[in-house]
Amino acid sequence: MFHVKRIGKEKMIKAVLFDYNGTLFADDDINDMAWKATIEELSQGKIDADKFYGEFIGTRNYPFVEKMFEILGMEHDEEKIMYWVKRKETKYYHEICRKLGRDKLMPGAEELLDELKEKKIPFTMCTASLDVNVDFYFEQLHLDRWFDKKTVVYDDGIMTDKKDMYLEGAKRQGVDIKDCLIFDDSPASIRNAALAGCENIIVIKKPNNPDLPQIKQRIKDFTELDREVLKL
């Protein structure tokens, strides 16, 4: 049985913010393969892909690649780093995703999104992915059934972390972050959601999830979600 902490009756959820990778879409294995293939290609075997990925998993794409350049002692600039960031996404992530035929959201996610639309509860995505990947997600999984791409927050090179992204997501929905419900799976992102001021976080269970008072439920997927959080 999953752990539940109910949100107080005095609180009203006014908007929902979703992380994407590993939350709405189960792609941990795809990201693993894409990053390790990129590490192998860029470093020509000079960096242990498993060790490096394990140490820096959850880091935004740009600083992830930048760190590789530093370890390899390679001169770099923004253009060179962005080449490898986009290569990881388009050359590897997209190809692997298509090869595996991965075109379904996490179990129960579609039903939840339909329910939010029906109840007219505003929601959007806040993802550390680049715009090229957001376009891919919308195309591959037909996300325009639920999401307005103009409200999606992504890594635009300006926002430094998920704290900024979640604050921007709340702003775009016209609500205070304290009145948002956030779904996430990454330890760093979960902590950033709490730092942003979100008091109601639902976590997709992973072995290294943090223990924070803001976490109200821990679920395997959206089929385990306690719908009481939507009835306040």
In this structure, whether the domain defined by 28-100 belongs to CATH 3.40.50.720 is answered with no
Looking at residue 211, what DSSP letter applies?
-
Terminal C-alpha separation, the chain: 23
Q: Which two tokens stand for residue 188?
A: 């760093």
Q: How far is Cα of residue 78 from the mean position of the Cα atoms in its chain?
A: 23
Residue 200 has pLDDT above 90, yes or no: yes
Is residue 204 within 8 A of residue 174, CB to CB? The reply is no
Q: Which two tokens stand for residue 134?
A: 């957001």
Q: Give the pLDDT band of residue 9 (cuts 50, 70, 90).
A: very low
Q: Which two tokens stand for residue 115?
A: 């329910």
Task: Over range 191-196, report the average pLDDT.
Answer: 96
Rounded-to-integer distance, Cα 139 and Cα 199, Å: 33
Strand order in the sheet with 123-125: 123-125, 15-18, 180-184, 200-204, 215-219
Backbone angles phi, psi at 181, to 5 degrees: -110, 125
What digits encode the pLDDT tens for the residues 66-118? 999 999 999 888 999 999 999 999 899 999 999 999 999 999 999 999 999 99
Q: Which amino acid makes up residue 41?
A: E
Q: Which CATH architecture has domain 15-26+105-230?
A: 3-Layer(aba) Sandwich (3.40)
pLDDT score for 75: 86
Domain extent listing, the chain: 15-26+105-230, 28-100
| Average pLDDT score, the chain | 90
What digits encode the pLDDT tens for the residues 125-162? 999 888 999 999 999 999 999 999 999 999 888 888 89
pTM of the model: 0.87
